[in-house]
Structure formats: structure tokens, C-alpha cells
Structure 1
Amino acid sequence: MLAVQKTSPAFGLDLVEAAEPQPGPGEVLVEVDAVGICGSDVHVYEWTAGYDWMRERMPLTIGHEFAGRVVKAAPDVTTLKPGQRVTVWPSIACGHCRACAAGRPEACENRTTIGLTRHGAFARHVTAPASQCFALPEGLDMELAAMTEPLCVGARAVEVGEVALGQTVVVLGAGMIGLSIALMARMAGASIVIVAGLNDEVRLETARRLGFQHTVDLAQETLDQAVQRIAGGPVDRVFEATGAPSSITDGLRVLRRGGVLVVGGIHARPVEINLTDLVRNKHQLRGTHGSARTTWDTVLRLLAQSGESFRPLISHRIALEKTVEGFELSRSKAAVKVMVLPGLT
């Protein structure tokens, strides 16, 4: 089968012929109908610092935001049958560490990840543990279902930030995760949501199409100026989804005393923070990564109820053979969510 793989620790990806996978014990084989290009996939494509742990796993088929149909199940799998439509939580807990024993598999100390540590979904078929599969609600199409994972990342960030009714929020970054955070913050009751990007007009326009009236191009206005103009002063919550070190200090500057800054971007180098200011302002710095099983249940309900409101996030649809072109679109900020459709010819 055709697959998109990371074959060497350098820039780029390769389109290769790979063997058809077979499900092991407790697993199913999924025929992939839609798989999204994620920001972390772009980091792998560019070979950004922080992904050296992938070296020993190459060649590796990447891709972890996907939906499809079960075509085969291992003999010991009784919860899923061929033909069932599913999306898959790619973060697989070990089930044995302290976090797993405490009922917090999202904090597993030995987790593996589909598309990062085991073969992923930029292919026609992928295997996954049946326990990681979520049946799709009736009527939810595959391309919307394939956005469950990034929407869960956004929802989890908002949970970590504890956004409350009437609070003011700044989201730094207008990519898929930033826009997911903005959507979930609005659903949580934020009274003002400001979406900021840098030379990012295509994605800021998508934010406006999603109903966000407060968008800021930081190439034309500083964050301080924009927040003062829109919110009238410091905000309650700041969410960082850029991976740019300067966004942390910029975000802290517009955060009210006692406010929370949630860091969700992957940073290639350390960030310097004035801890004295952080202490005196009683700021809280929280990290967010991935999601929890309960988040998946919540987001799938949202998609079932109002899936069309999320569709503007999909900016491009391409065939598997064109995946590398999709990565170039993603890294150039010319796209929000590029959806790869392996069945498209």
C-alpha cells in the first residue's frame, strides 16, 4: 500500500510502498477515509528540534488525526465489528504505570502514539487497539470525525485553563489548535475571545468565518495595543499555541493579576521568563498536551450536534499522493486543516 513515511532524521517525508498491516491481539485494522495534517506532523516533516526520539523508529508512517472503517478485528476483539465507523485516540497508555493505576491514562509515563512511535494513518490502512476506537455518531461524516483529535486538544486546553462564564481570553496562534481553543473557550462562556497571529491573514480570515470578530495581525499592531483596544485592559486567560518563545512573554504582559497562561505550543528552544514578575502578579503558568477520554466523549457529542459549525476549519482536501504538497501548504500558513483523503483519486 502507499504510505507517507519519515525515513531519515532530516527535512522531508517520503511516499513509499509499505506492507499491509495486520491487527495484533486486541487490535483492529482500520481503512482510513480521512486523515488531517497536524502541527506536530509538520514539526516531524521539518525535523524540528525535540523529535530525536523518533530516530530509532524510522522508517515510520506518520499521521494520527483520522477516521475510517473497521475492516478486520483480532479474534479476541468483541467490541467492534467490520464495517463500523470509528475515530481513534492515538495516545495509547501502558496500563501499568503509576498514572494508569491512578486512573489517569492521559498522564501515562510509558505511552505510545499512533503516527509518532508506531505506524500511523497516512496510508490506506492502519492498526489500532480496539480500546482506543470511538464509534462515530450517526450522520457524522469522516472528514469532520477526523478533526476529533485536534478539537479534543483545544477542549482539553480550555479545561486546563478553567475558562469560566464571562471571562476574557487571548489565543496566540491562528492554526488548527489555536482556533480549536478559541472555539472551545467561546463554548465555555468566554465573553471576549481575541485570536492573534503574525502575518497569518488566511487563518485569521478563517477565524472570522468561524464568528470571531476580534482578530489581530501582530505584524500590524502589538498584542498590548490590541488587548487594550478590544478588552480595555489585561485579560483573564491567555492560551499559547505558536511554539514561538516570544509569545510567552507577550502573553504574560497582557494577563491580569492572578490570571492563567496555558502553554500548548511545542518549543524548539528554552524560554526566559521574569519569575519575579510572575510571582508578584500571581500569574499561573500551566502546560497542556493531548487530551483525556472524557474529552473525546464531549467533543464527539459536539460534532454530532453541530458538526457543520466546525467545517470551515478544513481548508484543503487532497489525495494521499499529494500529501507532501499538503505539508508545504500547512507550513506556509496557507492552510488551516489540510485533510488527506486516501480514497480520493
Structure 2
Amino acid sequence: MAPYMPFTLGHEFSGVVTALGEGVTGFALGDAVTAWPTIGCGRCRACREGRSQDCQARRILGLHCDGGFSSAVLAPAGNCFRLPQGVPVEMGALTEPLTIAWNAVEVAGVQPGEAVLVLGPGPIGLAIAWMAQHRGARVLLAGFNDKLRLDCAARMGLRNLVDLASTSLAAAVQAVFGEKVDRVIEATGVTASIADGLSVLRSSGVFTIAGIHAAPFSLPVTAFVRNKQQLRAAHDTTRAAWPGVLALLAEPAHRAELAPMISAELPLSAALEGFETARQRGAIKILLRPGDA
């Protein structure tokens, strides 16, 4: 982000339309909306094919230009989505991370009835596990010394949880499924977890990396090929994920299950306090309210 400074942070946000640009249609003043923060150039092949997330010249609100940690944000109308009736604007702020999870589950190819292991109960891992279970998969969510996050997972209705501080991954998988898993989705960003996940993946299984890793990892290629396993990468999201997530949020029962992801609400003036709480792993998501004292 440093080359683009100074700018206002915040790529996960929702709000109310207070002004419309010339010629904008489909929105009205007072509409509750959220926005896909990725803005493509509109000219390259990726943009022409509707894949602005793959545009090499893309800009992201809150990462390359001014974002949502403000009383107002300027967003292209084409990136905005109206919140369904009944969805509180506070829940709308969860839309962006939920689309990341939606995309990861799509990339992984999760199917009903499959045994799916999700590694990492951070915000994205929690959302991935919830999405996979919602699609009918049998899900095991694994963490390490992650009581707060696993407690949140339980409140979200996730059925199979394990803290690997007290058992091995192999033992946990055997206890829940009785066999190796069909799919692994890694959301830890901890490189060692990739080898751990591969060790409990069945032959012809699919391993999807959704975490961001600072270090390379070594793949046992011969065993990987002989086991006919697949390696996939899930990053960012797609335009198609947004209507899908908003349709989920339109259901009160789904909102009730996802609400525990918001651990606390703070005024925007206390943003640094919120960042420190999150850094200390004392919260899942902290909602910042612009304009609150």
C-alpha cells in the first residue's frame, strides 16, 4: 500500500447513498448499499470479460485510493449493490468478506455431502466454513489456540470444531469423518498448514489455498501426482458472488448465524483501538461507525 499513500483505508463497508453522479440510474438517495471495492481499467481483456478482479491496472477502494474509513466514500455506481430489504446497514459491511468466502467455496468446488476441512478460524476461515456447511458439506473447522474464534464458530452454527493445541489434525479428521477428506480449504496464511492439510486429503481430492503467505512452501510433487490431487488458488472475489451473498443476507436466519462475526462496534475515532484489539486476536470483526462520538 505504501506507494499509494496517502489515502483513506477501508475496503469493507456499507452506507447510504447521499449523492448521485450525473447520469447514474438504478439508485436513489437514501438507498442502503455496499460496494465491491475493486475498480478495473475497463479496457483490458480481463475487464472486457467481466473479470475486473484480474485487471493488472485495477485499483481497490481502501487499498489504492480513498476507502470507507470516512464519513463518505466515492464509489462507481457499477460497483454498488443495494442491500435487500430488511438487511441492516451494519450487516451490509460484512458483504465483502463474505464474497471472499463465497468465491473460495466456488473455486474449491464444494459439493453437498462432501467432507471438507477448513484450516484457520479467522474471519475468512469462519465465513468459508459457514458457506461450505450452508451448501450441504460436512465441515470440520480447525484452529490452534483459537478459543475466541472457535467459540464464535459455535455461535454461527458450525458443528465440527477442533483446536489443534490439544489433538492432532489426523486424529480430529478421523474422529469426525472416519476417513480422509474430499477437500481442504486453507485460510491460515501459515505455510506449514499446507503440508498438514495435504496429509489428510484423499486421493483425487482438492486442496484450495485461500490464505496469503509470506513464505514459499515445498510441494512433495511425486506423492501429489500419484495421489492425483488438485491444487487450486482462491483470491479476491468475483462480481457474481455479490448478488449471491446479498441473497443469503436477505434471510433473517442466515443473518442471525453470521452476526457473531461482528465482535464489537466502535466510533471511527477509535479505529486504532480497534486495530490493536484485532491484532491481539481479541475480536473477529470490529464495526466502525463514522460520525459516532
TM-score (norm 1): 0.82
Q: Is residue 262 from structure 1 mapped to residue 208 from structure 2 by the alignment?
A: yes
Instruction: Please report how far the alpha carbon of residue 68 of structure 1 lies from its aligned counterpart in structure 2 after TM superposition.
Output: 0.3
Aligned to 2:195: 249
1:160 aligns with 2:116: no
Which residue among 1, 7, 28 is the counterpart of 1:81? 28
Bigger Cα displacement from structure 2, 245-254 vs 273-282: 273-282
Contact 2:133/2:158, CA 8 A, preserved across alignment: no
Per-residue deviation, 1:270: 1.2
- 1:339 equivalent to 2:255? Answer no
- 2 CA distance for matches of 1:253 and 1:182? 20
Q: Helix, strand or coil for the counterpart of 1:65?
A: coil
3-state SS of the aligned residue for 1:296?
helix
Aligned counterparts of 1:104 and 1:317: Cα–Cα separation in 2: 34
Deviation of 1:133 (Å): 0.5
Q: 2:231 maps to which residue?
A: 285
Task: Please state if 1:72 is matched with 2:4.
Answer: no
Cα distance between partner residues in 2 of 1:102 and 1:126: 27
State the SS of the aligned residue for 1:127.
coil
Q: Does 1:151 align with 2:98?
A: yes
CA RMSD of aligned residues (A): 1.2
Match of 1:305 in 2: 251
**In 1: Cα distance, 2:156 partner to 2:224 partner:** 33
Aligned to 1:109: 56
Are residue 274 (structure 1) and residue 220 (structure 2) matched? yes
CA shift for structure 1 position 343:
3.1
User: Cα distance, 1:113 vs. partner?
Assistant: 0.5
Q: Offset of 1:206 from its aligned partner?
A: 0.6
Q: Compared with structure 1, are the counterparts of its residues 103 and 125 closer, same or farther at alpha carbon in structure 2 (3 Å cutoff)? A: closer
Which one has the bigger strand percentage? Answer: 1
**Residue 241 of structure 2 aligns with which residue?**
295
Work out the CA distance in 2 between the residues paired with 1:80 and 1:316. Answer: 30
Q: Distance in 2 between matches of 1:58 and 1:207?
A: 36
Q: How does 1:191-210 map to 2 (within 5 A)?
A: 192-210=138-156
Gaps of 5+ in 2: none
CA distance in 2, matches of 1:209, 1:305: 17
Which AA in structure 1 matches 2:38?
A: S
Q: Which structure 1 segments of 5+ residues have no match?
A: 1-53
1:314-333 CA-partner distances (Å, limit 9, x unpaired) = 11111111111111121222
Percent identity of equivalent pairs: 47
CA distance in 1, matches of 2:203, 2:262: 37
